[in-house]
Amino acid sequence: MSVVPPRLDPAMTLLPPLPGPAASSLVEGLNPQQREAVEYRGPALLIVAGAGSGKTRVLTHRIASLIATREAWPSQILAITFTNKAAAEMRERVEGLLGEGAEGMWISTFHSACVRILRREAERFGYGQGFTIYDSADSRALLKRIVKSLEADVLGLTPAAAQGTISKLKNELIDVDGFSRQVSGGDPKEQMLLEVYRQYDRELRRAHAFDFDDLIGQTVWLFRAHPEIAAHYQRRFRHILVDEYQDTNHAQYSLIRELTRPVEPQHVPADTRMQLAPDGSIPPASLTVVGDSDQSIYAFRGADITNITNFERDYPSANTILLEQNYRSTNTILKAANAVIGNNFDRIAKNLWSASGEGSLIVGFAGYSGHDEAQFVADEIHRLHDEDGLMFSDMAVFYRTNAQTRALEEILIRSAVPYRLIGGTKFYERAEIKDVMAYLMAVANPADELALRRILNTPKRGIGPMSETAIWDFAERQGITFREAMRRAKELGLGPKVTNAILGLAEILDDASESLDPDRPTGAATVGELLTALLRKTKYLDKLYETGNPQDEARAENVEELISVAKEFDKTHPDGTLVDFLTETALVAAADELDDESGAVSLMTLHTAKGLEFDAVFVTGVEEELLPHRMSAGEPGGLQEERRLFYVGITRARKVLHLSLASMRNTFGETNPSMPSRFLDEIPAELIDWRQAPGEAQGGLGFGRSLGGGSRELDSGFGSSGGYGGYGRGSSAGSSGGQGFSSVRFKDPDAGREFGKPKPKKKWVNDITGQVRDNSGLQLERGDRIRHVDFGEGTIRAMLGSEKKRIAEVDFDNAGRKKLLINLAPIEKL
C-alpha cells in the first residue's frame, strides 16, 4: 500500500476508521461480540473468550484492523502468544488478512520477545551478545553441583526442590537480596536455600547465562533500572495484545505493566510526532488481553489467575467483552464441559453454547488395563477413519502424564495406527543433542563453564573428575576463566596424555570461534559448517557408530538430525548467526512440533493440548490419582486446576469425544488398581454412551480379587450407567501387555483371562520381555486363519499395505474386527 499513514497518535483512535474495503471486510461474518472486540478502541480491553469462541480470529482481525485503518504501523504492534507455533500462525493469518507482509510486527512468546530485548541490551548486564539460555535441565545440572558442594541434601534439599523454589521466587520477581530479607534466621533449611540461590545466581552470572525465568525477570529489572530503555519500547509498542492472559505469572504481568506506562516527559524526544498528554508525557499504549480463567492450567508454575480477574482493577478504564458462543464443538460436548467446570466454585459464571446441533453422545470406555484402553483407542480410531471418513490428523489422544504413552504407543504401533507424539522427551533434551549443543554454546559463549564441563570428557578423552577439578582450581587461583585455564593446561602439572587432551579440546574450540570471524577469507562459517567441523574434529559421531550398540546408533541418527536442522536453519536464515540458532532452539516448545500435514493421529498431554482442536478427541486415563493427579491433592486449588485441565481436554473436541479409563494401571512396573475419576460423575449420565462401563471392566484382578470367576458386578463405588455395547470382550479380558509381553508375564497364559483369580504377584518371568518380534517372513493372505495372543483366533479379511507396513484386517471370532501390523503383532498362522 502506498498511502502514507496520517500522524499516528492515540487520540486518532477516537475518530471513525477510514472507510475502505479492508477495514469493513474485517468484521464480516463475525458475531456482535466478536465484532465489538475487533473494533473497540480504548486504552484497555479484556476479552473473556470461552473455549472455541474464535478468539484467535478476533485477535488477528483486531491486529489487521489496526493496521488497515492506519491507526498503527505494523512495527507498533506487540502481540504475545503462548507458543511459537501460535505466534507463527497468528502472523500468517494477519498477513493473509492484510494481503501483505507485516514486517516489524512483533508477534512472539514472552520469552522470545524478552530475549530479543536482552540481546540488544546485553552489555548492561556485563554479558556478551552471545549469552547462553539455560533450559531447565541445564539449571538443574548446575543446582545439582551447588547442592552437592554445600551438602544441602542433608537438610532434605534436593536439586529439584531448589529449582522449583528458585523458579517461583524469580517468577515473583524476588531476587537474592529480596529473599534474604524474607528468610528467617532460625530455619537452617531456608538459610541453606538462600545460599543455594545466591550461588546459583552467581554461577549464572559467571557463565553469562540466563535461565528461563530470568528472561522475563531480568527484562523487567532492566526496564525498572533504566527508564530510558523502557521508554524506548513504550514509545515503540503502541498496541500490545496478550493471548492466554490467564496463564501469565507475576513477572510477565509486571513486564506488561512496564510496557503500558506513559512515557515520562524527560524521555519524550523533542521531535516526536505523537500526541502528548497535558503534562508532556506520551499516553500509555493500548492493551488488549484475551483469556479464559476456566482454562488456566499453569498455576503450578506460577501462573496467577488473579491477573485476569483483577484486570479491571488494574486498568480502571478497561472494557470487557464476553465471547460465549462456541463455534467448535457440538452441544453434547459443551454440556459436558459446562457441567464439569460448573463444579469450580470461585469462577465467573459463563455458559458456552453452540448453534451446531447436539451431535453424537460422548463415548465412554472402561478397560481392564492400560493396554486394553489403548486397544479401544486404536480400534475406535480405525473405525472413525474407515467408517466416518475422519482423517488421522483430525484425531488426537490426550493423557495426563507422559508415562501413559508407553501402553498407547505399543498398541497403536501394533494396530497400524499412524501417530505422532507431541512433546514428551523432547529432541533437544536428549543427552546426545545436549552434548552437541553444549559444544555450540561453548563456542558462542566462552564464559559458559557448564557447557565446557559437559563437553570436557564427551566423547571420552581421558579427562576425568580429577583433571576437571585441577582445571577449576587453577582457574580460581589465577583468577582466569575455565576456558583460559584449559589453554594453559601445561601449567596444571597433569600427565602428558591428559594435558594433550585438554589442549586439543581448547584448540578445537578456539578454531571454531575463529571460523565465525566474518573477516576470514572464506567468510564466517555457517552453523552447519561449524557443527560438522566440530563433530569431525571431536570424532563424536565416529565414536557413537563404533560401539555397534543400536542405542548409540539411534543417538548418532539424532545428531545427524541436528545437523540437518542446522543446515535448514542456514538456508532459511541467510544472515542467521550461531547465537540466533541457539536462541531459536532454546525456545522451542512441545506444541511447536505439531504440523498438520503428517497425516497421523496426535498424542499429547492435556497441557500441550491447550489451544488446539480436533474432530475426534480421546481423553484417556480418566481415573482418580491420575486425573485429578495425586500430586495435585496437596496443592491449594489443585483439584480445581485439575478440573480445568479436564475441561480443556473436553473442549478440544469438535465432533466426537471419548473418555476412557482402566481399572488396573501400570506404574513403574507395579500394577495398581484404579478408580474412575470423580470428574466422570460430574457429567450428566445421559450424555455418555458407555461401550463398556467401569462396573463391567472391574471384574478382574484389582477390586474383586477374592470374588469367584465370572463375577462382574462389583462394588466399584461408581454408578454404572447401563446399556453397554459389550465392547471388545476378547480384548478387555486378557490383554495386559504388548508385543509378546502378555502371555509370557503370566506363567499360564490363561490365568489373566479369567476373572477373580488373584494376579501372580510381581517378579514374573521376564525373559521374553523386550524381544523384538519380526514377522517379516510371514506370508498371509485373505482367508487364512491366524491366532493372536490377546484376541484369539480369527480369519483374515483383507491385506493392506506392503513391505514393512503390511497390515492384516482380521475378523476375530470373539474380539471383533481389528487391523494389525503384521511385522509386530503377536500372531501366528494356523
Partner DNA sequence: TATAACAGTATTTTT
Partner DNA sequence: TACTGTTATA
What is the binding site for DNA (CB under 7 A)? Answer: 82-83, 109-111, 135-136, 144, 158, 160, 212, 297, 300-301, 400-403, 406, 423, 457, 460-467, 498, 587, 589-591, 604-605, 607-608, 629, 631-632, 635, 667-669, 766, 769
Residue 785's region, left for phi above 0, alpha for psi from -120 to 50, else beta, is beta
Cα separation, 150 vs 162, whole angstroms: 13
Cα separation, 241 vs 59, whole angstroms: 8
Do residues 52 and 352 make contact, with C-beta atoms less than 8 angstroms apart?
yes
Residue 448's region, left for phi above 0, alpha for psi from -120 to 50, else beta, is beta
Q: Identify which of residues 12 and 590 has a Cβ nearer to DNA in the complex.
A: 590
Q: Identify which of residues 158 and 180 has a Cβ nearer to DNA in the complex.
A: 158
Q: Identify which of residues 212 and 245 has a Cβ nearer to DNA in the complex.
A: 212
Do residues 650 and 336 make contact, with C-beta atoms less than 8 angstroms apart?
yes
C-alpha pair distances (Å), 306 with each of 168, 248, 290, 303, 703? 16, 10, 14, 9, 42
Q: Identify which of residues 380 and 410 has a Cβ nearer to DNA in the complex.
A: 410
| CB-based contacts of 689, cutoff 8 Å, min separation 6 | 361, 362, 363, 364, 723, 725
Give min distance, CB of 300 to DNA, in A: 4
Give min distance, CB of 314 to DNA, in A: 22
Give SS3 for 794: strand
Element (H, E) at 592: none
Q: Identify which of residues 45 and 374 has a Cβ nearer to DNA in the complex.
A: 374
The residues that bridge with 792 in the sheet, in sequence order, are 788
Q: Identify which of residues 80 and 530 has a Cβ nearer to DNA in the complex.
A: 80
State the CB neighbour count (10 A cutoff) for residue 419: 23
Residue 529 C-alpha cell reads as 559448517
Catalytic residues: 55-56, 243-244, 295, 652
Cα separation, 475 vs 467, whole angstroms: 12
Q: Identify which of residues 278 and 668 has a Cβ nearer to DNA in the complex.
A: 668
Give min distance, CB of 387 to DNA, in A: 32
Give min distance, CB of 50 to DNA, in A: 22
Q: Is the peptide bond before 269 cis (omega within 30 degrees of 0)?
A: no
Q: Which residue type occupies 625?
A: E
Give min distance, CB of 551 to DNA, in A: 9
Only one residue has cell 558442594, namely 149
The residues that bridge with 320 in the sheet, in sequence order, are 46
Do residues 583 and 130 make contact, with C-beta atoms less than 8 angstroms apart?
no
Cα separation, 437 vs 451, whole angstroms: 8
Give min distance, CB of 215 to DNA, in A: 8
Residue 539 C-alpha cell reads as 570424532
Give min distance, CB of 469 to DNA, in A: 9
Q: How far is CA 632 from the centre of its chain?
A: 19
Q: Which DSSP category does 669 fall into?
A: T
Residue 106 C-alpha cell reads as 512483533
Q: Identify which of residues 385 and 434 has a Cβ nearer to DNA in the complex.
A: 434
Q: Which residue type occupies 390?
A: L
Residue 143 C-alpha cell reads as 543446582
Give min distance, CB of 135 to DNA, in A: 7
